[in-house]
Chain A
């Protein structure tokens, strides 16, 4: 039974981050953009866990917990903004929200 090398975890994290970045750039629905950001944050957490597993330290998991907290706060505020935007312009297309008041 051989254990998983940390480099493979880092490569997978980079690939997942690229997929999330492509989603942010390609999609125009705000909910999909938030989902892609979640995928990217998850990839960042995977990179931290891989590094922490390579050195056998708990710091990687600590940083993952901080990323988790940040993702939770970000997604709650982001989804509240999405709801507010939907009540104002009746769409979730981010290209429609290109005007400012004032």
Chain B
């Protein structure tokens, strides 16, 4: 188990360093997704399968899709098709693919290990997490629903394009 932990930790650290040091935003995004996947595998090894699933579904799925949308909206222009052709280059996604292949092989290896409940760490199932969420943490759940509503309204308000209202206001002198 320790070997698997070391491999995932190495993949997480290397891909995080690569993610913050790339010059292209899409490459950084790919390496960030690999980093999140390796941390999800570490969650699985630490006995938190529900958190691992949430990490893959929400972090590596939903939040990274938001980043992809914004990068697409920002970099759309006359050179975007040529840029897309460059992104399809094989060398660009070979690094994240190799890391992801390492992670998926490791996942299969960890899942095929014989389960020994005496020596292994106790697995905290999603049922216990749900009971804790709906019991002593009820106020936190309500507060996070409020936070998500505020985030939704705020993102809608900020993302709304004010049609030339701000530009004309800037052009006209105030005094």
Residues of A participating in the B interface, judged by any CB pair closer than 8 Å: 1-4, 6, 8-9, 12, 15-16, 19-20, 22-23, 26-27, 29, 31-32, 34-36, 38-39, 42, 45-46, 49-50, 52-53, 56-62, 64-66, 68-77, 79-84, 86-88, 92, 101
Contact = CB atoms under 8 A, between A and B. Distances in A.
Helix, strand, loop or mixed for chain B's interface? helix
A53 B13 contact: no
A21 to B, nearest CB: 10
B32 A58 contact: no
B103 interface: no
A72 B46 CA distance: 24
Given A23-B20, A56-B122, 11 more contacts: A2-B119, A4-B45, A32-B20, A42-B36, A56-B121, A58-B131, A71-B59, A72-B62, A76-B155, A80-B154, A87-B161
Interface of B: 1-2, 5, 9, 12-13, 16-17, 19-20, 25, 28-29, 32, 35-36, 39, 42-43, 45-48, 50-51, 54-55, 58-59, 62-63, 66-67, 69-71, 73-74, 113-114, 116, 119-122, 124, 128-129, 131-133, 137, 140, 144, 147-148, 150-152, 154-156, 158-159, 161, 166, 170
Nearest to B31: A35
Helix, strand, loop or mixed for chain A's interface? helix
Given A3-B121, A58-B131, A72-B151, A39 B1 contact: no
Contacts of B63: 38, 71-72, 75
Contacts of A6: 46
A20 B76 CA distance: 28
